[in-house]
Every structure is written in structure tokens, then in C-alpha cells.
């Protein structure tokens, strides 16, 4: 090679060969999660993973049913002026919303537990005479509130277990207010919950600090003398008395410690079934005014352990005074 060519080669060296790019590394796919069974349901819209893991198979069925019915009720609540409404009795209404919600609940619950009987507000009791378990359902507690656009109403579902021919007990209950998305649930021996929060009744001991709830007998509903007699005894001793128009939520709020107690006479089984187990599992008491089982006749006094007895005594005294007043009026008319 000549000196001139050598100098040119040193100034302009040959280009280096390109290096082949390394093959991309594959990222392994994560393993598929194990399938969930009914005892440990996967979280669904509207419920947290914690709640889904806590629910038993029974409660899981109930929660799924009330949430499905609740979605339809919320749509109806937004168009309440378009609903057809019928009158069942004095101040007692039924709307298309009640009927559709009850149908949804019946379909969902019957599909999951085909051997359970039913006791429902709108369609009554199913024909099975030898039932062991039955659903006790109020598809819309607080219908009057619902129809007036007041967001204080609920779906209530309880499970009643037959013990003997004449005795039964409520073993689980769910009360759901779709307007606030508050879901109260309880199962015998498993505690009471509001969504994921464990519930306890209030700890108040002093009647002067207590707030109680009740229902007012309006229109042609009887027991006005009893109500006035009870109220006249309670009002001077407490911080307040509330009437919100949905007995199921009144009981749920006692379980949550929002109310210190609740009383009402002549309620239906579907009004109180779920609420009874909620209050008891939250540490409270539910009896009739005489201290017996409230469920058969719907004569309800509920409260925390410190105030229940005092409230029950005042309710009993108000009833006795009303009965004495009626007896005196009969004697006067007869004389």
C-alpha cells in the first residue's frame, strides 16, 4: 500500500458492523386468581372486599337480592311522580315500586333457596304449611316517605327459623337504604354490621340524655290513647323523641347507637323481623311491653341494656292508662 493510501485509510476508518439487537424479554403472565365459592364471594359493585369476605352464604344471598331490588327502587325514586299508587288502608299506600321490588326479591331469593317459604308484605304468605325456614320480606318500608321524595326508606329481609309448631326465631336479617347506600346486616351469633363497620348499641344510661324513636298512629289507625299516654310519660324525661316513618330503619338505627331506644305497637312481622336480630346482635334488647317476645304481635320495645327496662315500664304504664280510660268510659255509658 502506498503512503498516500495509508494516510487516507487512517483518516477514514471503515464503519463498524451493526450489532444485532437483543431479543425482547417476555414478562410472565400473573397466575389466575382462584375461583370464589358462595362462602367467600368475590367483591361486587357496591360492596367492599372486606364485606364480601365476611358475609356467610345466607347473608350473601340476601345482600345480592336487596342490592338488585334497590337499584330498581332508586330509578323509581327519581321518577316517583310517574308511579301508579293504590290505597290499601288509612294512610297505607302501595305503588308499582313496591310490587316490582317484591317481585325481584322473590325471584332472587327463591332461586338461591328454593325450599324456603315466604312471608311478604304485598303478596302474603306462601302456601307451605311445613316450612323450616322462610323469608320475611318488606320490599319497601317507608312507602309514604318514598312517595313524597323523602330519602328515608328501606328494603327489609329476615330469615325466620321454625323451632316448634308455635315457636320460631329470626336468625338473620338485612336492612338496606339505597338512597344512602347504608346496608345493615346481622346473623345470629355473628354480630351486626353497617357496611363494614361493627355495630354496638349506645351506652347511655341517663334518660335525660336519651333520644328515642317511635311511630305515630295516624288517620284511622287505632291505639291513639295508648300512644298519647306513653308519649306523655316519656317526653318530660328524655332529650328527644323522633318519628321518621320507617320502623325497619328505626330498629337498625337503635343497633347503630343513633337512637337509644324505639317503641311502637301493632307492627307487622315484615316490619320488624330483620331489625330484631340486628338490635340483639348489636348488644341490645327487643321485647314486647311485658318483657316477652315482640315478634308474634308486633308490640315492640327496643333499646340498649341500660334504658330498655325504663322505656318498657313507661310503655306498659301508658297502655294501662289507656285501657283504664276506656273501661271508665264504658262504665259511664252503662251507668
Tell me the per-residue pLDDT of 220-261, one tens digit each, with 9 for 90 and over: 778 899 999 999 999 999 999 999 999 999 999 999 999 999
How far are the Cα atoms of 222, 279, 316, 320, 321 from residue 324, in angstroms, in the given order?
A: 16, 32, 12, 6, 5
d(CA 251, CA 213): 9
Instruction: Take residue 23 and report the three cell numbers written for it.
Output: 431479543
Phi, psi (degrees; rounded to nearest 5) at 194: -115, 110
Tell me the per-residue pLDDT of 80-131, one tens digit each, with 9 for 90 and over: 777 767 666 545 556 788 889 999 999 999 999 999 999 998 878 886 778 9
pLDDT at 128: 74
> Closest Cα to residue 67, out of 48, 44, 49?
44
Q: Residue 36 above 50 pLDDT?
A: no
d(CA 160, CA 134): 5
How far are the Cα atoms of 54, 192, 296, 321 from residue 335, in angstroms, in the given order?
A: 66, 55, 37, 21
The phi-psi region of residue 53 (left if phi > 0; otherwise alpha if psi is between -120 and 50; otherwise beta) is alpha
**CB of 139 closer than 8 Å to CB of 98:** yes
Tell me the per-residue pLDDT of 168-222, one tens digit each, with 9 for 90 and over: 999 999 999 999 999 999 999 999 999 999 999 999 999 999 999 999 998 777 8
The DSSP letter of residue 263 is E
| 38 band by pLDDT with thresholds 50, 70 and 90 | very low
Tell me the per-residue pLDDT of 308-317, one tens digit each, with 9 for 90 and over: 999 999 999 9
pTM for the structure as a whole: 0.82
Amino acid at each position: 500500500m502506498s503512503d498516500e493510501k495509508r494516510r487516507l485509510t487512517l483518516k477514514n476508518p471503515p464503519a463498524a458492523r451493526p450489532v444485532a439487537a437483543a431479543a425482547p424479554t417476555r414478562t410472565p403472565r400473573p397466575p389466575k386468581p382462584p375461583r370464589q365459592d358462595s362462602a367467600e364471594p368475590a367483591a361486587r359493585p357496591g360492596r367492599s372486599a372486606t364485606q364480601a369476605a365476611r358475609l356467610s352464604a345466607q347473608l350473601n344471598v340476601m345482600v345480592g337480592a336487596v342490592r338488585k331490588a334497590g337499584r330498581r327502587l332508586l330509578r323509581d325514586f327519581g321518577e316517583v311522580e310517574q308511579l301508579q299508587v293504590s290505597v290499601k288502608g288509612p294512610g297505607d299506600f302501595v305503588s308499582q315500586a313496591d310490587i316490582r321490588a317484591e317481585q325481584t326479591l322473590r325471584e332472587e331469593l327463591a332461586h338461591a333457596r328454593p325450599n324456603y317459604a315466604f312471608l311478604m308484605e304485598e303478596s302474603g304468605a306462601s302456601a307451605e304449611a311445613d316450612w323450616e325456614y322462610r323469608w320475611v320480606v318488606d320490599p319497601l318500608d317507608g312507602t309514604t316517605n318514598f312517595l313524597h321524595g323523602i330519602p328515608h326508606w328501606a328494603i327489609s329481609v329476615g330469615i325466620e327459623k321454625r323451632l316448634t309448631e308455635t315457636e320460631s326465631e329470626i336468625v338473620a336479617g338485612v336492612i338496606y337504604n339505597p338512597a344512602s347506600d347504608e346496608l345493615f346486616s346481622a346473623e345470629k351469633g355473628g354480630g351486626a354490621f353497617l357496611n363494614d363497620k361493627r355495630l354496638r348499641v349506645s351506652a347511655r344510661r341517663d334518660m335525660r340524655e336519651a333520644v328515642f324513636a317511635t311511630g305515630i298512629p295516624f288517620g284511622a289507625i287505632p291505639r291513639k290513647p295508648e300512644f298519647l299516654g306513653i308519649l306523655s310519660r316519656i317526653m318530660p324525661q328524655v332529650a328527644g323523641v323522633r318519628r321518621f316513618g320507617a320502623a325497619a330503619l328505626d330498629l337498625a338505627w337503635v343497633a347503630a347507637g343513633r337512637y337509644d331506644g324505639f317503641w311502637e305497637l301493632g307492627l307487622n312481622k315484615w316490619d320488624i323481623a330483620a331489625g330484631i336480630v340486628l338490635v340483639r346482635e348489636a348488644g341490645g334488647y327487643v321485647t314486647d311491653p311485658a318483657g316477652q317476645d315482640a315478634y308474634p304481635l308486633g308490640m315492640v320495645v327496643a333499646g340498649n341494656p341500660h334504658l330498655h327496662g325504663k322505656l318498657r315500664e313507661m310503655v306498659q304504664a301508658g297502655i294501662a292508662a289507656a285501657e283504664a280510660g276506656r273501661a271508665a268510659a264504658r262504665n259511664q255509658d252503662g251507668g
